[in-house]
Structure 1
């Protein structure tokens, strides 16, 4: 489906694949100008060309959300002007027992899933608050149902997502009075590259069995939720959305 996002300017992080790529597509198809942010420049270039071939507007910007985004913001502003819709989607899911002491994985998840989210918010806060003075402004954070559940071997990942969920709730107390909507989206089992990053074969086997038994959402189905939420009337904020496969409990 498409929605009315005409004249909106969006930034989507983690746009090289999965939920990020599908969100960029549906936002562009709904009339938004979309800046695609991720580290894999080749993937972004292909997606931008696809969007343009469909008549949309897209800008590929290779960027690492864990670093300084000053130049990234300048590139987006030069091409599209002020941003009024930010989708914080970049994330990584790694899984091992705490006893394994995989500090490399802990740092990577904390850096991307928490620090990266904060970097993006900091970079575009002035855009969002300025846009809200004249029209609709949205910050969408992609968290996970894992923010509320417990899974062996996923303690650090779920902790980072719990942080995103709690951050989103608190940001509404700061951004809501300024007219900026904050939406926290918590997908359940979803098609993505996340599971492919796990190097623990036992955990991979468990995930595969779980997917086979419960099923999974497509990335496009989660993207549709993002587009729906951001296309509501300016005074309507869908603040917390859990979206799960029907069989997932």
Structure 2
């Protein structure tokens, strides 16, 4: 399948690392102009430079702004007034005992993981519908369906994204704009290797270590290895394409079979 996004402008929030960076590179390789977003201006500039090496000739736009705030979101629209593809990837997570999650933490997780995406959708969706074409995506998680006992506030926020995605898909019905969620499974991102080696023998080679980790600590995974960010990026690129024109209102799983269900 040949996907050509030439002439399209994409914004990937939280794209200085992990799934966001992989998605940004993949969209750029498909021909899209891509906004690289993060809070720190220097880090964003450095990431733009490194990503340019991974996608020679790519048109990458530094978009330094904290999109979890109204001011930051407005700043993004000043730098990228029109966006055809909005990938709401920004998210935070952390393990906290359920009874020790404070009101402020509940609010922070909702602000960053949910409201930031809602705000940007509200800002960019009208332009997409007016032009008769657009793609909005929310990067959710297996934790939206299999709520982790050690971080239920994170699971709550990702479950909320599934509702947000379905709701905005209805708002965009019949306009040529599609809205979908991507359910990402256990992914090999920054810091995960250290986490894995806290639980398995440090002498094991990485490939064997991650398989041991998955077998012993994430046995419900059918893939039995961590997912690489690029593998999730493939789904994001597909959903951004003309070929995905009939896919909307969905929650598409790239979870390695982690969720033990036929439907999310």
TM-score per shorter chain, which class? 0.7 to 0.9
Per-residue deviation, 1:195: 6.1
1:114 aligned residue: 114
Q: Aligned pair 1:71/2:75, yes or no?
A: yes
Q: Which position in structure 2 is the counterpart of 1:215?
A: 225
Which residue pairs with 2:32 in the alignment? 32
Tell whether 2:225 aligns with 1:228: no
Shift of 1:210: 4.8
SS in 1 for 2:87: strand
Say whether 1:150 aligns with 2:147.
Answer: yes
Q: Which moved more, 1:95-104 or 1:150-159?
A: 95-104
Distance in 2, Cα, partners of 1:194 & 1:123: 33
Q: Does the Cα contact within 8 Å between 1:44 and 1:62 map onto a contact in 2?
A: yes
| 2:101 aligned residue | 101
Change (3 A) 1:119 1:193: farther
Match in the other structure for 2:57 = 55
Q: Is the 8 A contact 1:176 1:182 kept in 2?
A: no
Contact 1:28 1:51 in 2 (8 A): no
From 178, 183, 208, the counterpart of 1:181: 178
Give ranges in structure 2 of 5+ residues lacking alignment.
201-209, 217-223
Stretch of structure 1 that moved more, 95-104 or 154-163: 95-104
Compared CA separation, residues 16 and 211, structure 1 to 2 (3 A): farther
For residues 55-77 of structure 1, the C-alpha deviation after alignment (integer angstroms, 9 at most, x for no partner) is: 01011111111112222211123
- Runs (4 or more) in structure 1 with deviation over 6 Å come to none
What's the TM-score once normalised by structure 2's chain length? 0.80
CA RMSD, Structure 1 to Structure 2 (Å): 2.6
Contact 2:182 2:254 in 1 (8 A): yes
Provide the TM-score with structure 1 as the length reference: 0.84
How many residue pairs match? The answer is 235
